[in-house]
Amino acid sequence: MKTTPVDIKLIANYARMRTLFLVFGIVTAVGVILISFSGMQHENGMKEFYAPARPLSPEFKWTQVAPPGSGTHQFEWKPGTYPSAICPLAGTNNDLWMIGQKNAWSSLNGIKWEAHDKYDWGEKISMAYVSFKNKFWVLGGMEYASNTFLNDIWSSSDGKNWNMTIEHAEWSPRKGHTVVEFENKLWLFGGAIGVDKDKSPNKYVNDIWSSTDGIRWTNVLEVCPWVARDNPRILAFKGKLWMVGGQGHSDIWSSSDGKNWAQSESDVPWKGRYDYGALVYDNLIWVFGGRDSDPRNAYRDVWYSIDGSHWRLQTDNAPWSPRSGGNSVVYKDKLWLYGGKHTGHEDSFSGDIWTMEPIYKE
């Protein structure tokens, strides 16, 4: 049979098509292998990388674990309630503690609380609390009656028996400062050094101090790059210190050494607010609740971020009523919210308890 030019052309085209299909098949097979390998890495070695992208709004839920009225003021506390308006601290024995002016309270499940007598620093306000090296620490504050600012440091190994570790620390007397643990050190940030007739802060310091033992302190920065503020929100997150706003502010800064800071965001979508909650939970930064400059206008929104710069709204209508969010803690793999100042309530505090957790746990 004689081959015509047309036949030769068809044969050549067929050969080219076979080559193209072969190449396509090889690329597809390699892609499948890479995807499978990536999935294996996700399961075995890269959970931290993939986990932050997982949480979407429907994957977290809020649950009320104690109804309104379950909290009472620390001076009027009664069995069967928790002491409201105190920020809880995670202890070293899988327990929670709330440290008041005259008593301390502990709980093994976050709901039932036991009172303990405590005699030590007397009636002062706006101290900084922290757990560090198997002890509780209370730093600074202001004597309520005299408006005297303090720079004393108290510590306790059991939450009940307290000792004055230092009467006058190297940092100046103050209240409304923040203390966190990071890289096996305590870090102290800013605070107020003046108040008006209503005891509201009107003068601030803007420094940073660190300590390896809670006793001896080193000045890291005399003046921070951000505007001085009351209660700067400081978090340890992904190997860095993060300044996540503060009273009336919503700028965000981060540092790996506590001295050199970079601004991540100047104005995040949750805007400047007061008395809000800010915690690290499930490898995310969370901001929730709070109020605007008018105490009657409280919020019930919840935000989270995987990197401190990009924020996502979990909900603008949480199941709990509008309130402050500062009395919160991460405990037993949940985020706990204890009451908070209410909008439009006579006693100002809701007295309920809510927890947040992932719906599906890996």
Strands 234-237 and 240-246: antiparallel
Distance of CA 58 to the CA centre of its chain: 21
Tens-place pLDDT, residues 225-242: 999 999 999 999 999 999
Q: Which residues pair with 244 in a beta bridge?
A: 252
Confidence label for 24 from pLDDT (cuts 50, 70 and 90):
very low
Non-local (6+) Cβ contacts of 266 within 8 A are 251
Among 176, 228, 172, 167, which residue's Cα sits nearest to residue 201?
176
Strands 82-84 and 71-73: parallel
Q: From residue 86, give the alpha-carbon distance in Å to each of 52, 62, 73, 166.
A: 30, 21, 9, 24
Tens-place pLDDT, residues 206-223: 999 999 999 999 999 999
Tens-place pLDDT, residues 34-63: 333 333 333 333 222 223 334 445 489 999
Among 147, 186, 145, 189, which residue's Cα sits nearest to residue 166?
186
Work out the average pLDDT over 162-175.
96
Which amino acid is located at 193 in the chain?
A: I
Q: What is the pLDDT at residue 75?
A: 87
Tokens of 121: 């620093």
Query: What is the chain's Cα-based Rg?
Result: 27
Q: Indicate the DSSP class of residue 44.
A: H
CB atoms within 10 A of CB 255: 20
Which range (48-52, 57-61, 264-268, 300-304) has the least confidence? 48-52
Q: What is the pTM of this model?
A: 0.81
